[in-house]
Every structure is written in structure tokens, then in C-alpha cells.
Chains A and B, each alone.
Chain A
Amino acid sequence: MIKKCPSKKQRLVFNYLEKRFGIKRDSFNDFNLYTEEKGKIFLGPKTFINRCISIGLVIARIDNSIEPSNNLLQTFGKYVKKNFILLNKEDALSYIKGEDLEFLQDEIKEATEGYVLLKYSNFPLGCGLLKGKHLKNMLPKAKRLKLEFL
């Protein structure tokens, strides 16, 4: 059942987003956070009704740690100040297709290990998990596409 997010959990999410990506808490001022049993964190409107199926966007999941969602990084990507990787055209196409990526040290200098935003030009594409020089593709399967125009 979806309910309002307790303030302790809210602080945890907002602190993570600021520390990891430099997204300021006031970027979310117009909305509220909600949660449910499986640890999903939703960003939704301030009005709430009981017995809803979903609300707004799932922006993260809290298990043992916080996992940011693809929705979050794509929608709020313009506020991301750190831990992003700028992709060239070929890598952007591979990422959108759903492939993992390998980088040279030079290409990931704006990022440390953990969740990162992938960008192409000024466009926030989505989320990946960086470990060493390997990027695990976190784009949900249903969203993957073989693009012809980029």
C-alpha cells in the first residue's frame, strides 16, 4: 500500500541525491515523496488519495542501499552536477539498445564507482552502475530501443 514517506526516509533520499548527483532538494519542492512495502520511493503530487495503484514517478528503491531510478535521472538529469558520463554517439546507441559499456579511464573522470547518469550531448539518457571501467546498463528492458536517429 502506498503511503506518505516518513521524514527520516525522505532525508535519506534527498541527502543521497544531493551527495551523489548534486541535485538540490528544492528541485522537488512542488511534490511529495511516497513509499510502499517493497521499498519503492515515489515522487508525486501533494494531493494524495488512499487505494491508489501508483503515484507520480518511482524515483528510487531503498533496500540495503539506495538505487536511483532511470525515471529520476532522465527527468531530473538537467540538475545533475556530478557522477555523470558523457557518451559518444556509438556508445549512446549501444546504451539505449541495452548494452553494457566499457570505458577508458579518461572517459569516466567525472564519475566515481556507483550509480551514474549517462548523457549524450545535453540529453540525460538514463541510469547505469559503474564498477571500475565497466558500466552495467540499468535501462529497464521495456524502454530499450534500437535507434536510427540520434
Chain B
Amino acid sequence: MNITIPQKFKDRYTKLVDDPNNFFNILSKPLQKSFRVNTLKSSINEIRERFNIYGINIKQVPWYSDAFISESLAVGVTLEYFLGHIYIQELTSMLPPLLIIKELQNAKIVLDGCAAPGSKTTQLADFMKNQGTIIANELDYARLYILKFNLERIGVINTILTRYDMRFFPNELEFDVILVDVPCSGEGTIRRDPKALSNWSENRILRYVGIQKQIILKAFDLLKPGGHIVYSTCTFAPEENENVVDFLLNKRPAKIEKINIPKIKLTPGIQEWNGKTFNSDIKKTVRIWPHHNDTNGFFLAKIKK
């Protein structure tokens, strides 16, 4: 895969990453193909059995038993794909719902604030066994159509689709759990999209920060006391990550919770960036570097009200 990594990008992240050479090298390697079993319609054993009959090799992901890796493109032309027994999804995108799997067992109402294309919404519905209610919100009309299509294919019934700018989501309801996979500069997606860094600049990063801050505040205000937010981005930039969570901590009585997923390497959030020091709880947030687990880049924070 041919990619150009801007020198400024290299300079910036050499300061942040543990092993710059490995990090920059893996960015030009294509992403592993992965999918998740939809247990609303099928089971891990059934999928294993069927793919074995087809002769398609699949390998279970060590940190999430519903997830599999396959080097074969054929996964998308199987009966199981057609029937919605599996959902093709990047590994890092499976993490936000996984962080709140326990909280979802008792959740009555959940908001997926930036829901399209529906990977996380369908996973939430799976964890909630199609019970309770999910509000899946998406502003972009074309992406709303894709979201609807994916929900139908997976057999999700407990979901209501809304179309609001998440910054101005109406205050009528309070939620037990809110996912905000916010719009971001997308640096971590380069293994899927080789052009992800073609317009890269520090100014481009800063363009997203305002909207991210507004979304995280709005999400917190929509939460029931004791409820949880998972804030996530697919970018490395501390401005869009630690900085945004730190902003919330300064504005609201939010608590950051420790993230613990066995068998995946997570790097704690940083305490200082470009001369700015963050709240000490920010180290409970995590960054996923692509070379640690052979994935995309990602950032996660689990927040409690």
C-alpha cells in the first residue's frame, strides 16, 4: 500500500509513540478483515461450523469472543452475511460497546449519538438482546439510509432513528448509556483509507475540537445520574482526545472510569501535551496504537455522571 506520511505528522507522533519505526511502518500495511457474530440471529459455534464447511479460514479475536479475523474477501458473499448472521466491522469499532457491556444489561434507554453506518448500534442491540430502547442518531441523510439498511439486515427492532445535530439534541429524554463516536480528523483510519493523511495538517485537527467539546458536554447533560458515556475517536491527536475529555472534567462533575479489556494492549492517556497539563484522571483514558494490536488507531474514554 502506497501512502505518504507528512513529515510534520512524523515529528509530532515520534514524541508520543513508544516505537516510532514500528508505528510508521504498520501505517502502510492494509488492515486485517474482521467481522462480528450477530448473536440475535446466530451463534459463534454455528458460524465456526458453517465457515469450516465453506473452507473459509477464520480466527477468533483473543479479546472479544464474538469477533473473528479472516483473510478471505469471501466473507461478504456468504449466506451468513446475506442473512445478517455476521456484521463486517473493524476491530477498534467494536470497542466502545464492549466497554459498557455490563451497564447495558440493565439499561432501559441508550443513545448512539453519531450512529451511522450502524456497526456500534447493531452491537448495542445484540448486547441488549433487542430489549430496552436505543436512539440511533445521525445527522447526514445519506448515512442515515445506510444505518437503516444495516439495522434491518441484522434484525434490530429496539431502535428509533433520529436526525439531529448531536450538539443540539433535544433535552426531552435522559439516558442510561450514551455512545459518542465523534466526527474527528481520522488519522487512525489510514490503514483502511490510504488518503486519510493526504490533507493532514495541525489546523485540520483543530477544526474538529470545537464540535467535539460541544458534543461531549451535550452527551453529559443528557445522561441520567449514574449513567455512562463512551467517548471515542479514530484519531491520535491529543487535542481531539485527552484535551476534549479534560474540557468536560473542567466544566461538569464527570468521573473518568478505568478501562480494562483483557488481552488487548491499551496505552494510558497522556498527562501533558504542547505545554498543557491535563487532569490526573485523564490517564484512565486509553489510546490504541495500530502496531500494538495490528488494528486501526483509536481513543476511548469511559465517563460516569
Task: Please state if B157 and A45 are interface contacts (CB–CB under 8 Å).
Answer: yes
Task: Please state if B162 and A52 are interface contacts (CB–CB under 8 Å).
Answer: yes
Q: Could you say which residues of chain A place their CB within 8 Å of the CB of B152? A: 57-58, 71
B109 to A, closest residue via Cβ? A47
A31 within 8 Å of B (CB atoms): yes
Distance (whole angstroms) from the CB of B25 to the closest CB of chain A:
34
Taken together as a complex, chains A and B put the C-alpha atoms of A143 and B151 apart, in Å, by 13
A96 within 8 Å of B (CB atoms): yes
Q: Could you say which residues of chain B place their CB within 8 Å of the CB of A57? A: 151-152, 155-157
* In the complex, chain B residues 82-118 whose Cβ is within 8 Å of any chain A Cβ: 82-84, 108-109
Task: Please state if A148 and B78 are interface contacts (CB–CB under 8 Å).
Answer: yes
Task: Please state if B133 and A45 are interface contacts (CB–CB under 8 Å).
Answer: yes
A30 to B, closest residue via Cβ? B131
Taken together as a complex, chains A and B put the C-alpha atoms of A51 and B163 apart, in Å, by 9
Q: Could you say which residues of chain A place their CB within 8 Å of the CB of B161? A: 52-55
Known: A30-B130, A49-B173, A54-B148. A147 touches B160 (CB 8 A): no
B227 within 8 Å of A (CB atoms): no
Q: Could you say which residues of chain B place their CB within 8 Å of the CB of A96? A: 79, 82
> Chain B: interface secondary structure?
mixed
Taken together as a complex, chains A and B put the C-alpha atoms of A146 and B133 apart, in Å, by 34
Task: Please state if A149 and B160 are interface contacts (CB–CB under 8 Å).
Answer: no
Q: Could you say which residues of chain B place their CB within 8 Å of the CB of A149? A: 54, 56, 74, 77-79
Task: Please state if A142 and B149 are interface contacts (CB–CB under 8 Å).
Answer: yes
Known: A57-B157, A75-B155. A148 touches B74 (CB 8 A): yes
A79 within 8 Å of B (CB atoms): no
Q: Could you say which residues of chain A place their CB within 8 Å of the CB of B77? A: 145-149
Task: Please state if A51 and B54 are interface contacts (CB–CB under 8 Å).
Answer: no
Taken together as a complex, chains A and B put the C-alpha atoms of A112 and B108 apart, in Å, by 42
Contact with A along B127-159 (1 / 0, CB 8 A): 000111111000000001000110111011111
B11 within 8 Å of A (CB atoms): no
Known: A55-B159, A55-B161, A57-B157. A120 touches B79 (CB 8 A): yes
Known: A45-B133, A49-B162, A53-B163. A74 touches B155 (CB 8 A): yes
A44 within 8 Å of B (CB atoms): yes
Task: Please state if A147 and B157 are interface contacts (CB–CB under 8 Å).
Answer: no
A49 to B, closest residue via Cβ? B160
B56 to A, closest residue via Cβ? A149
Contact with B along A90-120 (1 / 0, CB 8 A): 0000001000000000000000000000001
Task: Please state if B159 and A45 are interface contacts (CB–CB under 8 Å).
Answer: yes
Distance (whole angstroms) from the CB of A23 to the closest CB of chain B:
14
Task: Please state if B144 and A53 are interface contacts (CB–CB under 8 Å).
Answer: yes
* In the complex, chain B residues 157-210 whose Cβ is within 8 Å of any chain A Cβ: 157-163, 172-173
Q: Could you say which residues of chain A place their CB within 8 Å of the CB of B41? A: 75
Task: Please state if A45 and B160 are interface contacts (CB–CB under 8 Å).
Answer: yes
A43 within 8 Å of B (CB atoms): yes
Q: Could you say which residues of chain A place their CB within 8 Å of the CB of B163? A: 53
A150 to B, closest residue via Cβ? B79
Task: Please state if A147 and B82 are interface contacts (CB–CB under 8 Å).
Answer: yes
Known: A30-B130, A49-B172, A149-B79. A56 touches B155 (CB 8 A): no
Q: Could you say which residues of chain B place their CB within 8 Å of the CB of A125? A: 82-83
Taken together as a complex, chains A and B put the C-alpha atoms of A46 and B160 apart, in Å, by 10
Taken together as a complex, chains A and B put the C-alpha atoms of A67 and B109 apart, in Å, by 31
Distance (whole angstroms) from the CB of B2 to the closest CB of chain A:
30
B149 to A, closest residue via Cβ? A142
Task: Please state if A52 and B78 are interface contacts (CB–CB under 8 Å).
Answer: no
Task: Please state if B157 and A123 are interface contacts (CB–CB under 8 Å).
Answer: no
Give B residues with C-beta under 8 Å from A.
41, 54, 56, 74, 77-79, 81-84, 108-109, 130-135, 144, 148-149, 151-153, 155-163, 172-173
In the complex, besides A53-B161, A71-B155, 8 extra interface pairs with C-beta distance below 8 angstroms are A49-B162, A71-B152, A75-B155, A143-B153, A147-B78, A147-B82, A149-B74, A150-B78
23 inter-chain pairs at a CB distance below 8 angstroms, sorted by A residue, are A30-B130, A30-B131, A44-B158, A48-B160, A49-B160, A49-B172, A49-B173, A56-B160, A57-B152, A57-B156, A71-B155, A74-B83, A96-B82, A125-B83, A142-B149, A146-B77, A147-B78, A148-B77, A148-B78, A149-B54, A149-B56, A149-B74, A149-B79
